[in-house]
Amino acid sequence: MTTHDTLEVPPQKPVSGTADAALQARYGTSGVPFAASLPEWNSTLETLLAHRSVRAFSERPLPDGLLETLIAAAQSAPNSSNLQTWSVVAVRDPERKARISVLAADQAHIRHAPLLLVWLADLARLEAVAARAGVQPEGLHYLETFLVGIIDAALAAQNAVVALESLDLGSVYIGAIRNAPEQIAAELALPPHVLPVFGLCVGYADPTRPAEVKPRLPQSVVLHHERYDAQAQPAGVSLYDEILSEFQARQGQSEAGWTRRSVERWRTRESLHGRDRLRDALAALGFELR
Ligand X SMILES: Cc1cc2nc3c(=O)[nH]c(=O)nc-3n(C[C@H](O)[C@H](O)[C@H](O)COP(=O)(O)O)c2cc1C
The residues that touch ligand X, with contacts defined as CB under 6 A, are 51-53, 55, 107, 172-176, 198, 214
* CB count in 10 Å sphere of residue 24: 16
In the complex, what is the shortest distance from the CB of residue 134 to ligand X, in angstroms, rounded to a whole number? Answer: 37
Based on CB atoms, which residue is closest to ligand X, 121 or 126? 121
Residue nearest to ligand X (CB): 175
In the complex, what is the shortest distance from the CB of residue 214 to ligand X, in angstroms, rounded to a whole number? Answer: 4
The 3 state secondary structure assigned to the chain is: CCCCCCCCCCCCCCCCHHHHHHHHHHHCCCCCHHHHHCCCCCHHHHHHHCCCCCCCECCCCCCCCHHHHHHHHHHCCCCHHHCCCEEEEEECCHHHHHHHHHHCCCCHHHHHCCEEEEEEEECHHHHHHHHHCCCCCHHHHCHHHHHHHHHHHHHHHHHHHHHHHHCCCEEEEEHHHHHCHHHHHHHCCCCCCEEEEEEEEEECECCCCCCCCCCCCCHHHHCCCCCCCCCCHHHHHHHHHHHHHHHHHHCCCCCCCCHHHHHHHCCCCHHHCCHHHHHHHHHHCCCCCC
Phi-psi region of 141 (alpha: psi -120 to 50; beta: other; left: phi over 0): alpha
Based on CB atoms, which residue is closest to ligand X, 103 or 174? 174
In the complex, what is the shortest distance from the CB of residue 123 to ligand X, in angstroms, rounded to a whole number? Answer: 19
In the complex, what is the shortest distance from the CB of residue 151 to ligand X, in angstroms, rounded to a whole number? Answer: 12
Based on CB atoms, which residue is closest to ligand X, 66 or 150? 150
Q: How far apart (Å, rounded) are the C-alpha atoms in residues 180 and 274?
A: 7
Based on CB atoms, which residue is closest to ligand X, 53 or 238? 53
In the complex, what is the shortest distance from the CB of residue 213 to ligand X, in angstroms, rounded to a whole number? Answer: 7
Q: How far is CA 25 from the centre of its chain?
A: 19
In the complex, what is the shortest distance from the CB of residue 290 to ligand X, in angstroms, rounded to a whole number? Answer: 25
Tell me which residue of 118, 140, 108 sits closest to 127, measured CA to CA: 140
In the complex, what is the shortest distance from the CB of residue 196 to ligand X, in angstroms, rounded to a whole number? Answer: 12
Based on CB atoms, which residue is closest to ligand X, 28 or 127? 28
Based on CB atoms, which residue is closest to ligand X, 125 or 214? 214
Based on CB atoms, which residue is closest to ligand X, 57 or 198? 198
Based on CB atoms, which residue is closest to ligand X, 38 or 244? 244
Length of the chain: 290
In the complex, what is the shortest distance from the CB of residue 177 to ligand X, in angstroms, rounded to a whole number? Answer: 7
Residue type, 225: H
